[in-house]
Amino acid sequence: MNPQSTDEIESLSPDECFELLGQAAVGRLAVIVEDHPDIFPVNYVVDHGSIVFRTGTGTKFWNTMRHPCALEIDGFDAGTGKAWSVVARGQAHFIVDLREKAAADALHLDPWQPGSKSHYLRLTLDALTGRRFKATRPDIWNTPLWDARSELFH
């Protein structure tokens, strides 16, 4: 049982990263809160080379406005047996223009969680990276039966 070597990891181009971002609807937003990182699930849309999401007034809103943040998504393609991960880093900006909000709404940016999510934020990207790699067989690491890779190796 040899660990996977780094030469088997494929770097994704920015175009491939945007394509994967556009196929997903939920990501994990990493934010600095009181000198430590915190993670928030957010639904989002890709719009003109940036990421737009909605939030209420609270920890996520105030801290994304103060500090750079990152959005991460990942997935698994059972057809190829490959897993992938995309990380977008940048600064969030408050959207006040009503046309920009309407454009985001037209892309179906509807909050999943109940409550007021009246603040629209745009994550302007400083960096966009991604990687793809062959997933290890789930039985090697005693992975739970519900793992997406289970279908591939049965």
pLDDT digits (tens, 9 = 90+) for 37-92: 999 999 999 998 999 998 888 888 888 989 999 999 999 888 888 899 999 999 99
* DSSP state, residue 57: S
Tokens of 154: 């049965």
Give the domains, in start order, of the chain with CATH numbers: 8-151 (2.30.110.10)
Handedness of CA 49, 39, 42, 136 (dihedral sign): positive
Q: Give the model's confidence band at 7: pLDDT under 50 very low, under 70 low, under 90 confident, else very high.
A: low
pLDDT of 148 > 70? The answer is no
CB atoms within 10 A of CB 118: 11
pLDDT at position 1 is 42
According to DSSP H, which parts of the chain are helical?
14-23, 59-66, 98-106
According to DSSP H, which parts of 41-151 are helical?
59-66, 98-106
Average confidence (pLDDT) over 103-118: 77
Is this model's pTM higher than 0.85 or not?
no
Rg (C-alpha) for the chain, rounded Å, is 17
pLDDT digits (tens, 9 = 90+) for 122-139: 999 999 999 999 887 655
